[in-house]
Structure 1
Amino acid sequence: MDTKFDSTADTVAESLRKMIMDGELKGGDRLVERNLAERFGISRIPMREAIQQLEREGLLDTFRNRGAVVHMLTASDVKEIYDLRALLEGDAIYRSVKRLDNETVARAELVHRLLGDASLAARQGELNREFHALLYSRCGNERQLKVIAELRSQVERYERLQDTLLVDTPSFQVEHKSILQACRVRNARGARSMTIAHLNSARDIVMQLVESG
């Protein structure tokens, strides 16, 4: 019984997360628990658990009289999130580089080539996540990777509105290439500094989107 409950809540949380990431649910939108439970064909208990899960991830805010509302990022939120991402992702790649095997590097190189393919513009967000995940994968701290994923999800709704950004902005692919080259030669310090610089570039773009409303 417990396993089924957790599985249902997790599945619904993933669906709601995707709705936020895709912009179907926008900042300030209210989630009506009863209506969503009917839409997904489930009871309100797993729906409530899914909403609580997304609240813990920072995607939703819960108010006494309004219930759950999609969190609206402020410029201050963006700065805090990217400051944390720079610390955590810089450290993750620094420790991961020393343990990367050739197969993982080769997979990252393949993803990098796919990122440069304009015909795959609709998959840029997915490929970008995979590229970084591969290079962080040997950091040896699963909790750290989980927090990185949660922080990314808080701003990804803005990043995914710019799915073609990595195709249209050559500097992003240049930055990826530099990070990959540092990993290829196992230059941990270089990979860390380049990753932080890359995140700062992304932060500036997301900040502009948030400030423009």
Structure 2
Amino acid sequence: MAAVGSINSSTLADLNGASTTAAANDPGSAERFLKLLVAQMQNQDPLSPMDNAQVTSQIAQINTVSGIEKLNGTVQGLSGQFSQMQALQGAALVGREVVVPGNALTVKDGVGRGTFELNAAADKVQVEVLNAAGTVIETFQLGARPAGIGDFDWKPASTAGATSFRVTATADGAALTPTALVRDTVRAISTVGNQLTLELKNSGQVAYGAVRSFT
């Protein structure tokens, strides 16, 4: 006896293939998948019906597609909540001082101040003060410093022209790689997508992830 309808086992094979993967990201795909399976069962050859293993496999695939859709919705919801929490945390930083990468020299009341970070303890730390053209105008020593974030004060006869600094360090004769940092004040925050950005008083916009510490 011939099959009652035109849907055959190739339809089932298609559902098992690439179309199933694409359907996982398509809302309502589980419902369409179920309709196709019902149509397949209704139009199968009565003398060669789909076996129980095939039916079980198709039902499992329907559950998988439906589960992925629900998981995608849950992840999107959590992403939105995470962005809101980031914004709330960022708002609490407004008006506070943060430490971020940068080599600007802060000059106040005739004293230059800078911050840096050492990845290991150093027995010799040297600071070079630069002008706007990048020329070294003075060099001084800080001596030994421990690993971590440190500050320095520079008290020359005149700070005229000083705009930035550079730090070098050694430990047992081996060169270290200090990171120049600046202390700045948070004026505002903004969020674009899942990215939280801080608007700093002197340094402009800085990603929240770049903050080394805050006080």
Judge same fold: TM > 0.5, yes or no.
no
TM-score with structure 1 setting the length: 0.19
Query: Relative contact order (alpha carbons < 8 A, sep ≥ 6): 1 or 2 greater?
Result: 1
Which protein has the bigger helix share? 1
Q: Which has the higher strand share?
A: 2
TM-score under structure 2 normalisation? 0.19
